[in-house]
Amino acid sequence: MEMTEDLIRNVIQQVLTQMGNGSGPRNGSGSKPSGVDGVYPTADAAVQAAEAAFGHYRKRPLACRRKATDCIRAICSEQAEELGRMEMDETRIGRLDHKIAKLRDAIPRVPGVEYLRTENWSGDDGLTLTDYAPFGVIGAITPVTHSLPTLAGNAINMLAAGNTVVVNAHPSGARVASEGVRRFNRAIRKAIGIDDLITIIETPTLESAAALFDHKAVRLLVVTGGPAVARAALASKRRAVVAGPGNPPVVVDATADLENAAKSIIAGASFDNNLLCIGEKQVFAVSDIFDRLMEAVGRNGGFRLNAAQIDTLTKKAFTLGDDKQHHVNKDFVGLDAAVLARHAGAEAPKGTEIVFGETGSDHLYVEHEQMMPFIPFVRVPDVNRAIDLARSSEHGYGHTAILHSRDTQVMARMGRVMDCTIFVVNGPSTAGIGLGGEGVLSFSIAGPTGEGVTTPLTFCRQRRTAVVGTMRFL
């Protein structure tokens, strides 16, 4: 039955294409605002198209949702090289090999329809079911640090849950985001005959983001980004899932496996040149093992800067604003470790993954979410002091913290004190999103609003059905 419907839709689409309507069959009444393959000029047009698409999608079985999300997974993994390069060329931050890995290796692990479930109670009074139903149209704001991966991961979760989505990408990653949306839509249309399950505003601005925030047809906002947009979403009247900023500290105590700690810190902090919100940003290590840890980092791909070199780098990597506050110099975000070394006046050997060095606990690189592969290491007298400094450097975001220790008391204390959405023990930060650790993957970690690592269930409404006095077959 479903195959027949799909076949008919595909035939209609082919006929329309041959008649010159290259953008395929249209949802709704035919008075659709101009947009091709999901890319629209305004927020209103993009929302209207996604709303019409939801009208069709909601009538379809789970098998269609699975096909739609499989299209996104397949495009990301099969076209990772081309799309990753596109993202690198446009955003000019991070590392090409990791941009490709995010699409090829990470996106296929984002959970889909299989994650949905129905809960039930069966007893003398009958059967009650709790189903997870879609909201409708979701408005998504995505960051420049992972423009297409965030969009693709959000779309898999949201479409699996039965929603459609309108995206306002970061202006500096908007071209690759639009290209992804075009490719996803073409494939989904071919697979299930519906257009516009994912729409995007072609030229995003703060105004278009605000229009999406306020649009009456948007049932839920999902915002992934830094402090300003997180604040705006939390202040919005619309219900919002907010994946905000972090500044993940690492604590290393005297019981830690130092070789594993050094390798893990490097793996997490070097990933995409430390653009990940979960990436290791500063390390507090106890003095007993501090020098041995520094030596292990140097042996495993870290290039150590001396105090004068760190000073030189810091003066360039932070600027003093009119507000008399220091701000991260955006031109330094996501630069290669070797380039940072050169800015510091040093030449890093080939194969350098991060640059690092010893700083005080009040250093700018400790206080700011710098998103660069320079990692400050702070020497502390004991682990309790390390945990306290880790907590203050995280600024109460409650995002991510990392510990290297074999002491379960320390694990428990740091877990409690940090109270973070993600707490990784004895591994790289990426283990917290299922890469080298257990659990599902997402690029949107919703700390401030409490949903945690987002999944299809994050984007569902619970609906209860009580069938009274029957349906118990015992």
Alpha carbon distance 391, 401 (integer Å):
9
* Residue (25 or 428) nearer to ligand NAD, CB: 428
Give the three-state DSSP class for 165. Answer: strand
* Residue (168 or 393) nearer to ligand NAD, CB: 168
* Residue (74 or 364) nearer to ligand NAD, CB: 364
For 353, other C-beta atoms within 10 Å of its C-beta total 22
Q: How far is the CB of 161 from ligand NAD (least distance, A)?
A: 18
When binding is defined by CB under 6 A, the residue of 60, 65, 98, 170 that contacts ligand NAD is 170
145 binds ligand NAD (CB under 6 A): yes
Q: For ligand NAD, what does the binding mask look like between residues 41 and 80, x meaning CB under 6 A?
A: ----------------------------------------
Q: Which stretch binds ligand NAD (CB under 6 A): 99-107, 137-145, 158-166, 360-368?
A: 137-145
User: What's the CA angle centered on 214, arms 113 and 153, to 5 degrees?
Assistant: 25
415 binds ligand NAD (CB under 6 A): no
**What are 65's two structure tokens?**
């949702």
| HSE, side-chain direction, 13 A CA sphere, residue 95 | 22
Alpha carbon distance 201, 125 (integer Å):
50
Q: How far is the CB of 283 from ligand NAD (least distance, A)?
A: 18
For 217, other C-beta atoms within 10 Å of its C-beta total 14
| Beta-carbon contacts of residue 284 (< 8 Å; ≥ 6 apart) | 249, 250, 251, 252, 361, 378, 380, 385, 386, 387, 389, 390, 393
User: Residues 266 to 325: which contact ligand NAD by CB under 6 A?
Assistant: 277
209 binds ligand NAD (CB under 6 A): yes
User: In this structure, what are the phi and psi dihedrals at residue 348, rounded to the nearest 5 degrees?
Assistant: -85, 145
Q: Which residue's CB atom is positioned nearest to ligand NAD?
A: 225
**What are 235's two structure tokens?**
């202040």
How are the residues of the chain apportioned to helix, strand and coil, as percentages rounded to the nearest 5?
A: 45, 20, 35
When binding is defined by CB under 6 A, the residue of 38, 84, 149, 244 that contacts ligand NAD is 244
User: Residues 358 to 397: which contact ligand NAD by CB under 6 A?
Assistant: 369
Give how many residues touch ligand NAD by CB under 6 A: 26
**What are 159's two structure tokens?**
């479409």
When binding is defined by CB under 6 A, the residue of 141, 148, 221, 240 that contacts ligand NAD is 141
226 binds ligand NAD (CB under 6 A): yes
Strands 137-141 and 218-224: parallel
Q: For ligand NAD, what does the binding mask look like between residues 84 and 123, x meaning CB under 6 A?
A: ----------------------------------------
Give the three-state DSSP class for 266. Answer: helix
Q: Which stretch binds ligand NAD (CB under 6 A): 40-48, 66-74, 164-172, 320-328?
A: 164-172
**What are 473's two structure tokens?**
């077959």
* Residue (244 or 427) nearer to ligand NAD, CB: 244
Taking the chain, what is the end-to-end CA distance rounded to the nearest angstrom?
33
User: Which chain residues interact with ligand NAD by CB under 6 A?
Assistant: 141-145, 168-171, 206, 209, 224-226, 228-229, 232, 243-246, 277, 369, 443-445
